[in-house]
Amino acid sequence: MASADHGKGKRWQVRYRDASGRQKKENFARRGEADARAAVVETDLNRGQYVDPREQRITFKEYAERWRQMQPHRGGTAANVERCLRLHAYPVFGDRRLVSIRPSEIQAWVTGLVEVRCFTAQTARNSAAKVKQVFNAAVRDGVVQRSPCAGVKLPSVPHTEIVPLTAGQVGDLASVVPHRYRALVILGAGTGLRPGELFGLQVKHIDFTGRTVKVEQQLQRVPGGKGVHVCPPKTRRSHRRVPLSGIVATSLKEHLDNFPAHGQDFLFRNERGEPIHSSRFYEQIWRPAIAKVELPKGTGPHALRHSYASLLIAAGESVKVVAERLGHTNAAMTLNVYSHLFPESEDRTRAAVDTAFGALAAECAPDVPSQSED
């Protein structure tokens, strides 16, 4: 229960206990101000909406940094979140009190990312998502009553269909990359592993007898520094065993004959025998290769994964199997990316219905009386 009475120094004082039971005191010069504050505090406490006055003074940057450092983000994600907030959000909202930021200001910022700073719609949405996470956490902590991100309209992302590499293009890439990376290109297109999963493979993960590759880790660059580190795959479903075709297995055997490695050794290493990571591979190996075979400039190593998915779909594999091979969280994700590659099924649907109900259609056909001869 909040109460207002005459406090020390002839000032009016509001005393109450917050949601955690700690006693709070606030002083006012006039009784009317104290009574009004006491009523607000009591109402907020009863509704579970009380916010400590000290928390109301915290800035967006102060709270966002506190939130960011507590998140269980992996290296790459942590670096991405830090960079996004530092470059895109803090220059606009960093010094503002968290409770003072209004929905209209968030809307203007998001719109400006596209129309003024010329960000792509997807980049603007990603930036907005991180700011929204900060405010959602602030709501859960009781620092703000509601998020100003609620109801903000985000730019729509144009639909683009994945155009997978053909088998010929994969072959061309394998022929122009340095010899030590040819098997990596073939393995990527023949198993659909993500780039980080490819770089994280050790010899022990290849089962030539059972003709499978085990995915249980990935290799990522150390955020903000040099070197790499081993970390778990992207999601729980990313832990998987992927079949090795004969062509892929032969390519890996030839690779190990030319670049011997054993047990805990990484399967793919640079000229100095060191593990490699995606950014260096992209700049030094991949970009020159796609230029040589005249592929579009934006084609990334992920294109090998798309090529694998398209091969499975063309071979008639179900959505469930494709999702399992790719390590997707669920089949819906697979359909969202590759739905345009699945063959049209209208004719199969019609044929299935006609087959199932063909006999019924014959039974329901109207009887036509036979004509007698005159």
Terminal Cα distance for the chain, rounded:
107
Q: What is the CATH T-level fold of the domain 60-141, as seen in this structure?
A: DNA polymerase; domain 1 (1.10.150)
Output phi, psi for 57, to 5 deg: -90, -5
Q: How confident is the model at residue 28 (pLDDT cuts 50, 70, 90)?
A: confident
130: pLDDT strictly greater than 50: yes
296: pLDDT strictly greater than 60: yes
Give the mean pLDDT of 322-350: 84
Q: Which residue has better confidence, 157 or 159?
A: 157
Cα distance between residue 299 and residue 286, in whole Å = 9
Cα distance between residue 224 and residue 363, in whole Å = 75
Q: Which residue has better confidence, 342 or 225?
A: 342
Cα–Cα nearest to 221, from 180, 150, 279: 279
Burial of 214 (C-beta count, 10 Å sphere; 0-12/13-18/19+): middle
Output phi, psi for 180, to 5 deg: -70, -10
pLDDT of residue 374: 45
Domain edges within the chain: 3-50, 60-141, 167-340
Measured torsion, CA atoms of residues 235, 236, 239, 245, in degrees rounded to the nearest 10: -70
pLDDT of residue 14: 80
Q: Tell me: the pLDDT tens digits for 106-128?
A: 999 999 999 999 999 999 999 99
pLDDT of residue 49: 65
8: pLDDT strictly greater than 60: no
322: pLDDT strictly greater than 80: yes
pLDDT of residue 369: 58
Q: Tell me: the pLDDT tens digits for 228-246?
A: 889 899 889 999 999 999 9
The architecture in CATH of the region 167-340 reads Orthogonal Bundle (1.10)
Of the segments 131-145, 175-189, 304-318, which one has the largest average pLDDT value?
175-189
Instruction: Give me the residue label for tokens 């994969």.
Output: 170
Tokens of 108: 């203007």
Give the mean pLDDT of 305-332: 93
Q: Which residues make beta-bridge pairs with 314?
A: none
Amino acid sitting at position 175: S
pTM over the 0.75 mark: no
Q: Tell me: the pLDDT tens digits for 71-105?
A: 988 777 888 999 999 999 999 999 999 999 999 99
Is the C-alpha dihedral spanning 203, 204, 207, 209 positive or negative?
positive
Cα distance between residue 250 and residue 191, in whole Å = 14
Percent helix / strand / coil, the chain, rounded to 5 = 55, 10, 35
Q: Which residue has better confidence, 214 or 32?
A: 214
The answer to whether 33 touches 17, Cβ cutoff 8 Å, is no
Q: Over the chain, what is the mean pLDDT?
A: 87
Amino acid sitting at position 157: V
Cα–Cα nearest to 25, from 10, 41, 36: 41
Give the mean pLDDT of 271-291: 91
The answer to whether 298 touches 206, Cβ cutoff 8 Å, is no
Strand ranges (DSSP E) for the chain? 3-7, 11-17, 23-28, 206-207, 212-215, 218-221, 228-231, 240-243
Cα distance between residue 12 and residue 32, in whole Å = 9
* % of the chain residues with pLDDT over 70: 87
pLDDT of residue 292: 96
Cα distance between residue 145 and residue 130, in whole Å = 19
